[in-house]
Each structure stands twice: as C-alpha cells, then as structure tokens.
Structure 1
Amino acid sequence: MELLRQLEQGLKDIDAQGLRRRRRTADTACAAHMTVDGRPIVGFASNDYLGLAAHPQLIDALAEGARRYGAGSGGSHLLGGHSRAHAQLEDDLAAFAGGFVDAPRALYFSTGYMANLATLTALAGRGATLFSDALNHASLIDGARLSRADVKIYPHGDVDALSALLDASDAETKVIVSDTVFSMDGDVAPLARLLALAEQHGAWLVLDDAHGFGVLGPLGRGAIAEAALRSPHLVMVGTLGKAAGVSGAFVVAHDTVIEWLVQRARPYIFTTASTPASAFAVSASLRIIGGEEGDARRAHLRELIARTRTLLKRTPWQPVDSHTAVQPLIIGSNEATLALAAELDHAGLWVPAIRPPTVPVGTSRLRVSLSAAHSHEDLDRLEAALSRAADASAAQEAA
C-alpha cells in the first residue's frame, strides 16, 4: 500500500538522523529507584521533583477519592462531571497559588497541554497579537497557532527584543507568553521584566510554571511567588503531574479571567472531566507541598542541585547554567548523545537523550532530572559513570 510505504520511508529517514523515539516500560511506581523493562535502574528521567508520585499519603488519598467518587467523572465539567473533589481542589489551588492577584480563582484541567491550549485560544484570537519566547514548550506553541492570533516570536529571554515588538504593535489585545522554568535548559525567564512590559503595554502575561510549581518560591508556590510578583495582568498555568506527583493541571488568575475560560475555552468545555480521585489526591499533595515535609524535600533537592552542577562541570561536555532540578548536559551530535545515554543505561542509570526537534540541531543533550527522592549515593553512581565514559571517550580519541 503506497500510503504505508510513504510512512515506512519517513520512519527510515527518522532512523537515519538518529531521531527515533522509543518508549520504555516502567514495571514499578515512579521513583528514584525503579524497575524498567525488567531491570533495576536509578531514574533521572521523571519530573517527580519532590518525590511525591509514590508517597503513601497520596496513594491513600487516591484510593479514598475513588471510594468516594468512583473511577470516572462521567462527563464534562459543564455536563455532570464536576465533582465536589474538583471544586475543593480549585479552591485549594486558588488559596495556595493565587497570591499574585486579587479575587484569585483556579480552573482544573486534565493535562498541562490542555490548560495551555485553553488559555491562549480563549485570551487571544483573530486581531490579537501573541508574543512568544522562542524556547516555549510545544503546548504553548500549539496554543498560539490555534488561537489564530498574529504570533510574534522573540529570542529566548530577550526582553529588549520583546519591548521593540510590543512598541511596534497596534493590536488591541496583546498576550505575552513564556515558560517560567524552561524544560530543556533549566533557566528561569526574566519574570519581573516581562511583567513590567505587560503592564506598560496593557498586555496579558501568561506564565507556564510547569517546572517551578511545588519547587520554587515560599512553600513551593512557584516562580511567580519566588519573584514576588503581583498584578491583575498575570495568568498562571501549572501542572500537577510533576512536583505535585499526581496528574492534571490548573490555571490561576483573577476570577473574571477564569469565568471567561469557563465560557470560551474549548479544551475545557468539550472534554470529559478527569477522574475525581486524582483531584482528591492533588488536594492531599498541596498539604504536603506547603508543609514542613515539603520544605524539607525542597531543601534536600537544593543540595542535590548544587552538587550536580559541580559534578557536571567536571565532565568534558557542556553543562547548562541551571539552578533548578533540570540539569542538562550538552553533548552535541545525536549519535554521541545516544551513545553516552546507552553507556549510562548499561551502568543502571536512566538519563534520557534529548534531540531535535525538541532542542536545536547540534545541541543534543542528556537531561538529568533531579528528585528529592534521590540520594547522594545516587549522584555518586552518576558521577562515576560519567567519569568512566569520559575516560573511554578520551582513550578512543587518543587511539
């Protein structure tokens, strides 16, 4: 069949470029130490930054939520699927993360991807202009495209370039959108300067705090709280399958913004609500994140981050200057990156290789994702394996 032949050729082209993606199957719960494809391994691949995904209290809360509300929601939020667990979680999220705005309100989504599509398509449309950081996550890029707004892309973190684009725009509605912590580099956007521009130009500032929520700021309230920002121009998106350890996502903003999303955000209106048990478990997670245990986990994570920054600098490869749990190590070519990932895998370490189009050509990298569940002994193993790989690479070059 010609259609299948075209796809097969396309897959061969992907293989030739070293870009084939392959799934691995976890046989145990997401944790620092797990069994993957039948082998014990130390995982540096997940976004479980606080090590809560297998926390006994969250497991119990998920089970209790299922006992109370059943296995599924049964419908969309506007057609019978909005449970008391969903409503309570939205109140909890608004109280926990909404300190940056008066009259905060939260809206719960099944995934972060949906939350970003919903927010950008509802706030921007034909006639609007959306200003997007060049390294924004794919969900923000797709949300911008689907919004049908005019999209202006500014160089990564370049506030001066963004200012020039805003000065040149006569759009009635302007939306600036950026990740807070960039998932492949681990750096943090210049949030205060972005907000200053948003207020100067009467623009919305949509910030995706997927990799900051739960980790950064007082009590883990996120990057916006860490930067001590406060403005009605701010719209915060956060995910709940990373540091929070469960699933789903949310948007927090002024009550009027959230009511507009309820009325106009198609990814919210036209999808079945997530299982109420997940919402019930997230509420339990927020209590851990904002309590003494959350503080202790963040303190341990900061220790691991500092040590990892040091050990990556000792390698012959190029670390990225990140102070977050995302610690990239740029290798260069796809082939060399895959080879190093395979060596680490042989040593019982799962450190994923990140390749184009996720990152620019020539900057393929290993992405070390740290979790509060990791120990210093885990970093000992990582450091030793990287050292052996570096020695082997140097010997091969010398030969």
Structure 2
Amino acid sequence: MSWQQRIEQTLHHRQQQGLLRRRLAVSVSPHASLALGEQHFTHFSSNDYLGLSHHPAVIDAWCKGAQKWGTGAGASGHVTGYSPCHQLLEQTLAEWLGFPRAILLSSGFAANQALIFALAESSDTLIADKLMHASLQEAATLSPARYRRFPHNSLDGLARQLGATETKNRLVITEGVFSMDGDQAPLAAISEMCREHQAWLMVDDAHGVGVLGDEGRGSCAQQQIKPDILVVTFGKALGVSGAAILCSNAVAEYLEQSARHLIYSTALPAAQAEAVLTSIDIVRQQPEYRLKLAQNISDFRTLCLQQGIALTDSLTAIQPVIIGDNHRALAVAQSLQSAGYWVQAIRPPTVPVGSARLRITLSAAHSTEQIIGLVEALHHAL
C-alpha cells in the first residue's frame, strides 16, 4: 500500500468512527469568551484555570520583557539563550516549590521526554500509572528501560509492580491531577510505598500547580509530600507557556549535560519568563483567584446534581461528563455550541475506547451566570 493510499484509508476510517480531529481558528478573549468567525461562545474548554492569560499585569510583564530582552532567546541556553531573567525564574520556582534546582524547558511534553530519555537506561525500570500523559507514555515506550504499568491510581497494582521488579533503579511515574478525568493521585500513599521499596517518585503536576495547596504550590504540597522529581507547566493555571523540572542539584547538573530537548532547543523567550514570574507572584499573593475557582467548581457540581447530570468524583477544575459513544459525544458538544457554550468532545485515543466525553473545564474567570447557563444547556443536550 502506498503512502497516499494509507493516508486516505486512515482518514476515511477515522471519519467513520467519529475520530477525525480538526483545528479551528478561534479567538479567545477575557471573561471566558471565545469567537469562531462571527459566532460567540462562553468558553468551557480552557486549561487557563485562574484566567491569568488575560491578566493585565501578566500581559504588561510580557510586553515590557520583549522591550528589554527582545522577542526571542536567539539560541539554546547552552549557547547564549540563558539570561538573568531565566535564571531568576528557575530560582523563584525552586524556592516556591521547595527544591534545590529548577530547569526550564519549552513545554510539558518536552520536559517529560527530556527527563525520561536522559535518565532511563536499559538496567532501569519505569513503573507508571496507565492513564499518564501521552508524552510520558511515549518516552517510556521508546526508552531502553523496562516499562511497567499499574491500573489507574491502584496502590495494590503499584505494590505488585514494585514487588515484581528487582532492578536497582526504579522510577514510579504518576500525575498530580489527571488531565482527562480530573481526579488526583493518592500521592501520600504512593510516596510512602516508594520509600519502602527505595524507588524514586516523579510527579507531573501540570494541572495541579498554581491551583492546589498553600500558595498554589500544587498537588504534592497539598498532600504534604516531596517527590524526587516534579514537573510543572506554565500553560495551565499560570496562563503562559513553558515548563520546568524541579529536582536535586545533581539531577539538574545531569540534565544540563544530557537532556537533548534542553541542549538542542532554542530557549524560552526571556519576555515569556517575565510573564511567568508575574503569574507566580499573583498566584502566591492573591489567593482570591483560587478561592473563586473552588467556588465555581462547587457551584457547577451542585447544579449538575440538582439537574440529575451524572459526574465523576473529580473535585478539580476538570469536570468530565462521560458519554461513551464517539458520535453521541460530538452531537452533545454541537448542541452546546448551538446554545452558545464551547465544550470539546474528547475521544479515543486521548481517552480509552468507549469513554468519549465532554471535558468541561472551569475557571476563576467564569461568572455564576455563565455556569448556570451551561448546566441548563447541558441538561437539555443530554
């Protein structure tokens, strides 16, 4: 079969299964609003959990940073792309999150892959939650290490895998908040199990940092643990873009020597680092954003309960409504859009087969009236 035939057959098959994905050029505005052409919607599909992507101080910091540092870093951090602003952001992250060092990368995807590819060797074992992010799944699969998985959030499953592996170096990988289900890992119990088995623990807290814990320090702070390695991203609650690996001095030095995603990529623009610094300051100093988000989550769940809308046990900003069938999920999402509410249908392979869903995400930017309207529209669509 030629490439052309293979491509056409794959696209046709995905179309028949309701799995074809398309990018749409939308305009996102403050107050959780979104426009597609001349159509306007209330936006419930963003990871901008605190609404900081349109915060005037964050925007001003980026603009002033561009004036000071230019629009791009111009090189890898190992050449000339590492500025005093990058250094300050790494130091701020390390102090805020309680680690000796932080290493900046361009995205959470890059950070996860940089870490696994640099760290894992053939004599090592990676033990991961089955629902961990695609970036981690791919890196673990392609690494030379043994790769084992345990059922989602199953302590018994993790214990079995730890007991069945005899390699000296074992890295347990999980997430603080899972991106499609919105549930949280039992980090305290996992951390204790890792200590008992002398395994390292890595937590990807992309959806927890900035939202959970004292000063928004995230899932690990909320559950009072300190993993060996923590990955955080800036494109969710912090409202910007980029990521960081938090770790020991030795691991940071090792990554500086070995992490190809770090060594061979142009560094983040310093202006972007300025914006992230401002977002961190807002998160730490202004808890009202987190409190507003918590109230919105509570209001949404209460209203859904009153309308008989089935939800999962998630208590985070990610509130999935499981539909099951791909075509049905798309139809419900379209019904919500017709009512003026932008909610994406998430289908396999992003989620397991048979669990297509609406991934509703709440933000501190949503008003009570917007949430009431969404729940009413959802009730009618279902």
Which TM bucket (shorter chain)? over 0.9
Distance 1:194 1:389 in 2: 39
Task: Report the count of equivalent residues.
Answer: 382
Task: Pick one of 346, 359, 364 that aligns with 2:338.
Answer: 346
- Verify: 1:113 aligned to 2:109, yes or no: yes
Q: Deviations over 1:104-154 (max 9, x none)?
A: 111111100000001122222211000010000101111212322100010
Q: Which amino acid aligns with 1:389?
A: A
Match of 1:56 in 2: 56
- Verify: 1:130 aligned to 2:126, yes or no: yes
Distance 2:26 2:86 in 1: 29
| SS of corresponding position for 2:9 | helix
Q: Deviations over 1:30-52 (max 9, x none)?
A: 65013233321100011000000
- Verify: 1:267 aligned to 2:261, yes or no: yes
- Verify: 1:153 aligned to 2:145, yes or no: no
Distance 2:269 2:142 in 1: 27
| SS of corresponding position for 1:290 | helix
| SS of corresponding position for 2:239 | coil
Match of 2:232 in 1: 238
| SS of corresponding position for 1:312 | helix
Distance 1:266 1:31 in 2: 39
Distance 2:275 2:296 in 1: 27
Distance 1:184 1:332 in 2: 14
Contact 1:24 1:37 in 2 (8 A): no
Q: Which amino acid aligns with 1:183?
A: S
Contact 1:131 1:175 in 2 (8 A): yes
Q: Which amino acid aligns with 1:350?
A: W
Deviates more, 1:196-205 or 1:111-120: 196-205
Match of 2:34 in 1: 34
Q: Which amino acid aligns with 2:158?
A: L
Contact 1:240 1:282 in 2 (8 A): yes
Distance 1:147 1:262 in 2: 19
Contact 2:50 2:238 in 1 (8 A): yes
Task: Pick one of 164, 172, 178 that aligns with 1:176.
Answer: 172
Distance 1:85 1:38 in 2: 40
1:3: Cα distance to partner?
2.3
Residues 348 and 168 of structure 1: CA distance in aligned 2, closer, same or farther (over 3 Å): same
- Verify: 1:200 aligned to 2:196, yes or no: yes
Distance 1:11 1:316 in 2: 37
Percent identity reads: 44
Is there any run of 5+ residues in structure 1 with no aligned partner, and where? 391-399
| SS of corresponding position for 2:172 | strand
- Verify: 1:13 aligned to 2:5, yes or no: no
Distance 2:157 2:112 in 1: 24
1:388: Cα distance to partner?
2.0
RMSD: 1.4
Contact 1:206 1:235 in 2 (8 A): yes
| SS of corresponding position for 2:80 | helix
1:317: Cα distance to partner?
5.3
Q: Deviations over 1:189-221 (max 9, x none)?
A: 010111112111221101000000000000101
- Verify: 1:47 aligned to 2:53, yes or no: no
Distance 2:239 2:52 in 1: 5
| SS of corresponding position for 1:175 | strand
1:387: Cα distance to partner?
2.2
Q: 4+ runs of 1 displaced by more than 6 Å?
A: none
| SS of corresponding position for 1:118 | helix
Alignment of 1:79-118 (within 5 A): 79-98=79-98, 101=99, 104-118=100-114
1:16: Cα distance to partner?
0.3
TM-score using structure 1 length? 0.93
Deviates more, 1:331-340 or 1:119-128: 119-128
Q: Which amino acid aligns with 2:284?
A: G
